[in-house]
A and B are shown apart, each in its own frame.
Chain A
Amino acid sequence: MPSHDVMPNMELYQPVQVEDALAIADRLAERGWLVGGGQDTYGWLKDRAKTADALIDLSAIESLRGVREIDDGIEIGALTTITEVATNPLIRQSYSLLADAAGVVASPQIRNIGTLGGNVSQDVRCWYYRRGLSCYRAGGNLCYADTPQGMNREHALFDTSRCVAASASDTAPALVALDASMVIRSLNGERVVAAEDYFVGPAIDILHTTVLRPGEILTAVRIPSSWANASFYFEKVADRNVWDFSLVSIAAAFKVSGGTIEDSRIVCGAVQTTPRRVTSAEDAIRGQARNAATAESAAAVSTNGARALAHNGFKIPLMQNLVRRAISA
């Protein structure tokens, strides 16, 4: 198997205005590849597992950086680094769930370069797919992981339709839990998509993991104030404590009044191709006392519908335990 590690020959565009970037993206369409921090991009390109004619480097567009207060919450520029997200006072003060999630992404070095937009838009983690094999997601007609012999320890439990790859982002579950919106711009204007709808599973579109289309750029993430300062819980379980992807993660927000859970948003990462809303648990605890018994009962139903592959069955008890911990914390 040819082994590469230098960048392929390709055009490079480095716009400094978002309008210019939109024009270039529109003109290049499928021939262009948007890059922010590059932490997902460069692996694909250097391995030659994916190619593009041109790289559109967004990193010089200052307007896509930073955290701003808006009328109803905050807006985070898509190029804001993960480190900035993890340490920003506004986020830490009211939306610490996201800061906690950002603080355990990959490694300090990657967090310093990687961006929020890149983290949520990164492709799925399936080693077969990333090796460039011609699986369904790569346009082929089989899945190497979803077989009795597939090495699928890290793969998905839910909603696996021809693809069992798992979502890799740590910040994505937090954004879904916070009911965030994704701001997408193109030459045609701006559209705002709920974070929960930004991510798409293989049953809907096996070739993409987000609704982002050629010519579009994710410019910002907005977090409404509706879940500000809720009771948050984030936990990531990975083999290593740094520089590793989640085996399972959980991001949860609870509105609790007088010991009773009025509402919640519980989201798990790395259990399906998109962040998974654990609505079975949310429904089970709504109006219930926040205690061990409630947590236990919700944990038990949280994995309803899970289908373990040959080697990822451990994710079921792990997910149940995390749901229980999140509720009882």
Chain B
Amino acid sequence: MTTHIGVDFIPPDVPGKVTGEIKYAEDYKREGMVFARLLTSPLPSGRVINIDATEALRMDGVVGVFTADDLPPSAPPGNPSLASNYVTYVGQPILAVAAVTEEIAESAIDRIKIDFERRDFVVDPLESLTPGGSNAYPEGNVLVRTREEGPEGTPIIGAEIKDIKWPQSAIDAIRAGKEPVGGEFTTEWNFGDLEAGFAEAVAIIEEPFVTIGYPHHSLEARTSMAYWENGKCYFHGSSQSQSANNNGLARMLNIDPADLVFINEATGGGFGSKIGPYPVMAISGNFSRVLNRPVQLRITREQEFYIGSARSGIQGWIKIGVKADGKVCAVDLAIVNDGGATGGGSGNSSAQHVTVAYQPGAMRYRGISVYTNTTPRGAQRGPGQNEMATVLAPITDKAARAVNMDRIAFRRVNVIDSDGRQGGGQGPVTSAFVREALDQGRRLFGWDDKISQPKKNGSKVRGIGVGIGYHGAGGRGYDGLVRIGTDGKLYIHSGVGNLGTYSYAGTCRAAAEALQIPWDRCEILHGRTDRHLPHSSGQGGSNTIFTHTRTNWVAAQDAITKLKEIAANDLGGNADDYEIGDERVFLSADSSQGLSYAQAASRAIELGGKYSGLEYPDDINPITQRAVQGLAGTGLIGVAKDTIPGQGQPPGIQVGFCEIEMDTDTGKFEILDYAMVADCGTVVHPKNFDNAMRGGAVWGVGLATLERHVYDPQNGLPANTGLYQSKPPTNMDVNVNTKIAATNIPDPQNPTGGRGIGEPTQGASAAALASAISDALDGHLFNTAPTTTDMIIDHLAGNEYSTKSLKTNTF
């Protein structure tokens, strides 16, 4: 089974990306289209008293103004498309103006007068938890998930805002790097006997840490264009996902999902910020309906900073107990997340990373996510896990040193394996081969040789680091849909979004593999709802490879079953008497007796029923049902829901190894070597795997050392809204000759063997680099992500800095 899986190919959108011919949402124009621009809040917190758009509406070329009054009401803690009453961060959209040119729309924005009532604001979550501290919302400062019993015992999951303050002693404690005793948390779980666990320890490591949020800054800003025809909304948007957008976006437009055509053939980056429909999408679609003409809402680079989401920050404390043999026996973890204007944090995922890295016998996690008047936060590549991996790596090194263990050996003793458990629920995993990855990486990197080399050379000092990245990497229960046409070709309908990782195409290889058909006889249909795309997962969480190789596999199996049944019907015998090969279905005992795929497809149309898609399984999603209805009668339809047996979370895991040379005069360092080994099951598409590994490695440098929010506590303004100001790493900041490998051990719960790997690539890189920086400085713990140049210089100069004042968003 190696025709397609594990073999390189060229995804169909690559030529267009090379030539520039491919179109993104902003590239689409429509006759009569008008240009909408946003007016955004100048205040971090306040109330909109009055909007006077009279002067703007009088301008030649202005066709309309769209406010929250034109949308369904949105109550906090939701993230409204347009502020309806309170504004809670600088840059929050308040209204949109549409005009016949962009220039007129921008000029019109300046002629709209808004009266605000100012409110106190807060950019530091600890400041908000302090007695008397400001709340980001009038209703409070903390997002609390609620769970109530609904009809027939069905829980209703919700969220509300509460006003929570900590005693000053708890604030003082966490600011001083100690356990915030007496502080109230909103999430807590534990397993094992924590007290007994710590009693077994020969070494206790207790450290504070801070990770600072930073924007996604997707290169393609979330511009959208919408128009309506014959009752349907045609929506050009920028999304990581395709079919997963349908229902949510249809709700935003208050239409039946059947009346939505979502078009998104290519996406210029999302990194977690475009997994599903996002609030601003409601504006172009609804504004277009109001104006009865196509509307393009173009989002500027600065606005992409404001509304394009960001990683949550953490202010935390961890206590780790280690036994003499190096086994972590107990962990106590407390996290205060900076949830920005949307309140959500990733503390639980951070804690999950700890469970995977250490497999402690006992652990307690306490978390609270605090609203601040800063940009909305959301998922960003390994949310929670990757920033935790970064600060945890040097702390792990310290733990290893405490019991005189090699740092890799320490990780080897503790990390998850196939029998391991992850998260607060201590659920199983489908498989895990991290020890194999550590051993492979140790050799690939030359750890033993590097670790024994001289460390100092003049002002230069070398540092060697190792890190582990982890993220759950797969889901179950989605649908696959393929069609064999009367031309004998295989048409693979993919509801997977093209977020730039090419997994939409890689996963289709599973169908070709199962049907044993050459790739040049396959065609992928994706990127538009009206191409009849099945129900698919959102393209987030590194899940696509596992999830949709399986769906395409089961759809292909359904097609194979139907091929055999048609052959048996026409040529005699039972379906089991037939097999496939060379684009034919034929009698196993006499291969001359058979039908070509083209012939079988024609017969499927003639037979109708389930063969041509006139009938379909009951268990497929309504989205897939509509897709099958659209294809009915056009060929042999293979369609199925993924019900492949199994349990546990498929993990995506990577180990990274980093060597740096730091200049102690300047605080700058050069990455001399970086090697990484992925435990992601079978590598489905080697070239794309290589790309994912390199991309993650690059961004890991940003997470560990460069990227951070900076907010002014005096006025709530963000300092670095531009791309260059946010300092994502450049090609000059990273190691170019990266060594890349995979364990390539198949996951037993995927017929193709694959699991996802996207997110951990960043976490492992960041963790390995943080570990190397600490090693270069004789084990000094900055306990920050990022650790920036100034922090290193200050440390070398003996200036007190960084974790002496635990802050996210500000210095």
Contacts and interface: CB of A to CB of B under 8 A. Distances in A.
Interface of A: 1-6, 9, 47-48, 107, 127-128, 131, 133, 144, 147, 149-151, 153, 235, 237-244, 247, 310-314, 316-318, 321-322, 324-325
Residue of A131, A133, A310, A321 ringed by the most chain B CB atoms within 10 A:
A321
Given A1-B90, A3-B303, A310-B811, A153 B730 contact: no
B455 interface: no
B713 to A, nearest CB: 5
Q: How large is the interface on B (under 10, 10 to 19, 20 to 34, 35 or more residues)?
A: 35 or more
Contact of A151 (B303, B306, B710, B797): B710
B55 interface: no
Nearest to A324: B665
B789 A239 contact: yes
A241 B797 contact: no
Contacts of B301: 5
A314 B797 contact: yes
27 contacts: A1-B41, A1-B91, A2-B109, A3-B302, A3-B303, A4-B300, A5-B302, A6-B103, A9-B107, A48-B110, A128-B712, A131-B717, A149-B712, A151-B711, A153-B790, A153-B811, A237-B666, A237-B667, A239-B789, A240-B706, A240-B730, A241-B733, A311-B790, A311-B811, A314-B801, A318-B793, A322-B666
Contacts of A243: 724, 730
Interface string B42-58: 10000000000000000
B18 interface: no
Nearest to A317: B797
A237 B712 contact: no
- The list of the 7 closest CB pairs from A to B, nearest first, reads A317-B797, A241-B732, A321-B665, A1-B42, A314-B790, A5-B300, A314-B793
B648 interface: no
B668 A6 contact: no
Nearest to B43: A1
Interface in B101-127: 102-103, 106-107, 109-110
Given A149-B713, A317-B796, A322-B665, 14 more contacts: A1-B40, A1-B42, A1-B717, A150-B712, A151-B811, A240-B727, A240-B732, A242-B730, A247-B789, A314-B790, A314-B793, A317-B799, A321-B665, A325-B665
Interface string B12-51: 0000000000000000000000000011111000000000
A311 B720 CA distance: 16
A318 B789 CA distance: 10
A269 B789 CA distance: 17
B190 interface: no
A150 B39 contact: no
B91 A313 contact: no
A237 B665 CA distance: 10
A244 B789 CA distance: 13
A171 to B, nearest CB: 19
Interface of B: 38-42, 90-91, 102-103, 106-107, 109-110, 300-303, 306, 665-668, 706, 710-715, 717, 719-720, 724-725, 727, 729-733, 788-791, 793-794, 796-797, 799, 801, 810-811
Contacts of A149: 712-714, 810
A318 B666 contact: yes
A48 B711 CA distance: 21
A98 B725 CA distance: 26
A274 B715 CA distance: 28
A234 B421 CA distance: 54
Nearest to B800: A313
A314 B790 CA distance: 6
Contacts of B810: 149, 151
A2 B110 contact: yes
A318 B732 CA distance: 21
A154 B38 CA distance: 31
Given A127-B725, A144-B712, A244-B724, A2 B39 contact: yes
B720 A127 contact: yes
A240 B729 contact: yes
Contacts of A6: 102-103, 106
B639 to A, nearest CB: 45
Nearest to A4: B106
Nearest to B305: A3
B665 A2 contact: no
A317 B793 contact: yes
A161 to B, nearest CB: 21
A105 to B, nearest CB: 13
Contacts of B91: 1, 3
